[in-house]
Structure 1
Amino acid sequence: MINKTIAFLVRSTALVVICPLAFFADDRQLERLQYNNPGLVVDLGVGLWAWPLPMDFDQDGDHDLVVVCPDKPFNGTYFFENTGGDLALPVFEPPVRISKGNHNVQVSYVDGEPRVLSPGIEHTEFYQQGIDTGKALGLSNNDIYTAKGNIRAKQWKYVDYDGDGALDIVTGFGDWTDYGWDDAYNGKGEWTNGPLRGLVFWVRNLGTTEKPRY
């Protein structure tokens, strides 16, 4: 009886191991699940954590939309072309992927032109390479702000904050140290953690726009 039980357990374990391997052996069998209204057709959409960058990406005189998405399976930077030319009610084409995606990508407008930043990096070839390439700014998030806990948002933008003619950097940080996570309610529905803190810092440029000294 014991031998039969052992043999049964061995066969069962083998099935548990083999079945997942067979399931993942060919990823062409995987099918993306539909969601929301399955009959709805929407061109303007990406995945989770979308960072919109409105700009005239194709430089034809109207506003397009570039959206950076860091999630899976939609990771990428996508160009939605405004083909109608209408600034108030634009009609966008389906997206074209132009590069990888990432968190915290921001657009600043300097003399009417978009300048795209990630923390510590300017993507100087954005029209050609998206965010696949970039120029280091000589600063990091830790040079500006550190926290004991989790920091989520880390947004960098160019602005001449003090009006001296040289571009400074303004950064925004979301500090979740005291907040923790969204599950901190007790049985009475009372919040037991601290607040979610947002902080904005001015990084002054003591040099020039061409040769910054932050």
Structure 2
Amino acid sequence: MNKLFSILVLSLLVLANGFVGTTSSFADGHEQTQMESAGKDKMGMDDEMMNKWMEYATPNENHKVLDALVGEWDYALKWWKAPGIKPEQSTGTSKIKWIMDGRFIKHKVEGTSMGMPFMGMPFKGMGITGYNNETNKYESVWIDNMGTGMVKGSGSYDAETKTLTEIGTFSCLGEGDKKYHAVIIYTNIDSFMYQWYMPGPDKKQYLAMVINYTRKK
């Protein structure tokens, strides 16, 4: 219990005071905080525990993978309600920026909703994505104004194929939680693609959504 209390107190100090040292920038100029170990004796931690905590709390090369997504984007979306039918289409804008000193990216979207009962209404969404140094997974959560549920997922990045793949769950009205998997394809510095797969009528996963992002000039 004492160790847990020490970790919680240290966490609050990190957030409030920063243990701020020197900083360096990712490509977009955000600041990546480098925390110092001042005050560890007061927390009752030995060097090993302090080092583990600092490693857990500090952004690293895995976080930099997300840097290519940062910026302002136009997007074009296609949505298939079921396999084999004509897709609905929509467009909008997206802003992605670093938050929490390079630990997470915040993704805000504005566009037009599709499908009943919200067809044509303004669509607003927000997502948070980061890399968890403890689980060694990319983790994300998504919310929007079309419902009160959260889409939650986790996954990994493949450097050879330049794809970030995640698996997660979302709430479907009247049907409970459903599983999905999604793929972010890093096309080039000025574009990327998001693919979303979900269960169809036969319970098999199908490609239900494709979003192409183009960087604003």
Given the two structures, how large is their TM-score scaled by the length of structure 1? 0.23
Q: For the pair shown, which has the larger CA radius of gyration, 1 or 2?
A: 1
Higher strand content, 1 or 2:
2
Given the two structures, how large is their TM-score scaled by the length of structure 2? 0.23
Higher RCO (CA < 8 A, seq sep 6+) = 2
